[in-house]
Copies of this chain bind each other. A is one copy, B any other.
């Protein structure tokens, strides 16, 4: 049996609370009974994460959020495409930690032999290719279908490009042979279930996939190796406390 209550911490790696609220809503919609979800923003860093440099500086900020609540969750989700801080978090924490890119790729791969990535703008493609390579799943991706540059309000892109996105998903299925479709990009969080009726293959939402998989893996990480205390300077106490020793 799983523990009766599974506690999931979800960290938005940027500092924008409205995004955190949207993520929390998407997460809550798929949390199974017996699951408690808490969503927090990064305590410092950037309001929006776009480039490789952003991923780097968002990494310690994500670690700080994870560290601050240590002991209060059974698994964690890093809710930012690009998965900032993910490898470090897996190493430093004693519970499973999943990124939403990682979770989307694995869920899509289990639901369909060929998966496509659909998003509202092609600007995200290099980031997704980096992530696919990092997670080793590039060969399972049958293509990208992405819209033209978008300069409007990210909060409204899901609505304004709804028809475009449905069309891109359908093309991915019909022309690329996609058997599952990842609907990617922060501003589209929670949109997959809404568009699903229009697409004949599973539509994957990264946040929701991560919640499902985090619940599934909770309890599987053992306490790990002893660690010597090491002295880390220049970071806030939440980050440095991750370098404290452990028996």
Binding site for B on A (CB under 8 A): 1-2, 4, 15, 29-34, 43-48, 51-53, 55-57, 59-61, 63-64, 85, 87-88, 90-92, 96, 98, 102-103, 106-107, 109-114, 122, 125-126, 129-130, 133, 135-140, 142, 175, 177, 179, 196, 199-204, 212-213, 215-217, 220-222, 224-225, 230-236, 239, 242-243
Contact = CB atoms under 8 A, between A and B. Distances in A.
B111 A46 contact: no
B236 A234 contact: yes
B107 A220 contact: yes
B106 A232 contact: no
Contact of A220 (B15, B47, B202, B231): B202
Nearest to A64: B234
A230 B46 CA distance: 8
A92 B54 CA distance: 10
A166 to B, nearest CB: 14
Contacts of A46: 230-233, 243
Nearest to A140: B136
Contacts of A33: 1-2, 4, 33-34
Contacts of A47: 230-231
Contacts of A48: 230
Contacts of A239: 57
A110 B59 contact: no
Contacts of A44: 233-235
Contacts of A232: 45-46, 57
A231 B14 CA distance: 12
A107 B59 contact: no
A234 B53 contact: no
A59 B61 contact: no
Contact of A107 (B31, B130, B217): B217
Contacts of A126: 113-114, 142, 177
Contact of A222 (B51, B85, B138, B202): B202
A121 B75 CA distance: 33
15 contacts: A1-B30, A1-B33, A48-B230, A52-B113, A55-B88, A56-B63, A56-B85, A57-B63, A61-B234, A87-B113, A90-B112, A106-B109, A111-B220, A113-B126, A133-B133
